[in-house]
Amino acid sequence: MTTRDLVLAALFTAIIIVLGLIPPVSLGFIPVPITAQSMGVMLAGTIIGARRGALAYGLLVLLVAIGLPVLSGGRGGLGVLMGPTAGYIFGWVIGAFVVGLLAERFVREGQPAVRQMAGFFLASLIGGIVVVYAIGMPVVSLIAGTPFSKVVMGSLAFLPGDVLKAAIATLAARAVMVGYPLLPQKA
């Protein structure tokens, strides 16, 4: 790992923390307020790629563990990492990796803009939503004892907000690809 990779990951972790400081917004048509922070999974993967993206999130989990209130709403400390929603937080690391892996394969420079956006959006949906939910929901069920089917139903409330986040992340990822491309590209 080069020093540049390390610095890029650390700067991205800092961006994710700042996104957590922005107050959550309530959109009329979604029952739950959405925070900008969980969009970071999609942003990290699509902008700095799989390895550095996962590193950025690993670093975030580490900061939570050592007792810094870096999660949205000023959450932090070991209590968060051992609570019912811990699976989502660990799932972010793997989610960011999968988003990056897919984006590195789907998107390259010189493609038409629509193609790039479609690639970023698909990568964000699969890695940022499917993977994160697939890890988070069973852990909720295991720790809180709530039946899995009910957890799945409850999670549906967050789905519209997360799809919206994937769309916003796609716009940002494309803007960065045009302005300052960083995504490693693989065949």
Partner 1 sequence: MLNSLHVEGRTLLHRLPAGPKLALLAAVSLALFFVQSLPILALSLAVTGLLYGSLGLSAGEALKRIRPVLITILLFALVNLVLISATEALTTTLRLLSVLLLAASVTATTTIAAFMDVLTKLFLPLERLGLLKAADISLAVGLVLRFVPEIAARYEGLKEAHRARGLPVRLSRILGPLIISTLKDADSIAQAIDARGIRGQ
CB 8 within 8 A of CB 48: yes
Q: Which lies closer to partner 1 via its Cβ, residue 64 or residue 135? A: 64
Buried b (16+ CB within 10 A) or exposed e, 14-40: eebbebbeeeeeeeeebeeebbbbbbb
Residue 29 or 187: the one with the smaller Cβ distance to partner 1 is 29
The residue ranges that bind partner 1 (CB under 8 A) are 1-4, 6-15, 17-18, 21-22, 36, 43, 47-48, 59, 62-63, 65-70, 73-85, 140, 143-147, 150, 154, 168, 171-172, 175-176, 179-180, 182
Closest CB 70 distance from partner 1, rounded Å: 7
Sign of CA dihedral 164, 170, 175, 176: positive
Kindly tell me which of 74 and 187 has the beta carbon lying closer to partner 1: 74
Minimum distance of partner 1 from residue 108's CB (angstroms): 19
- Shortest Å distance, C-beta 95 to partner 1: 18
Query: Please, what sign has the CA dihedral across residues 145, 147, 152, 158?
Result: negative
Query: What residues contact residue 26 under an 8 Å CB cut-off, 6+ apart?
Result: 33, 34
Query: Looking at beta carbons only, is 59 or 99 nearer to partner 1?
Result: 59
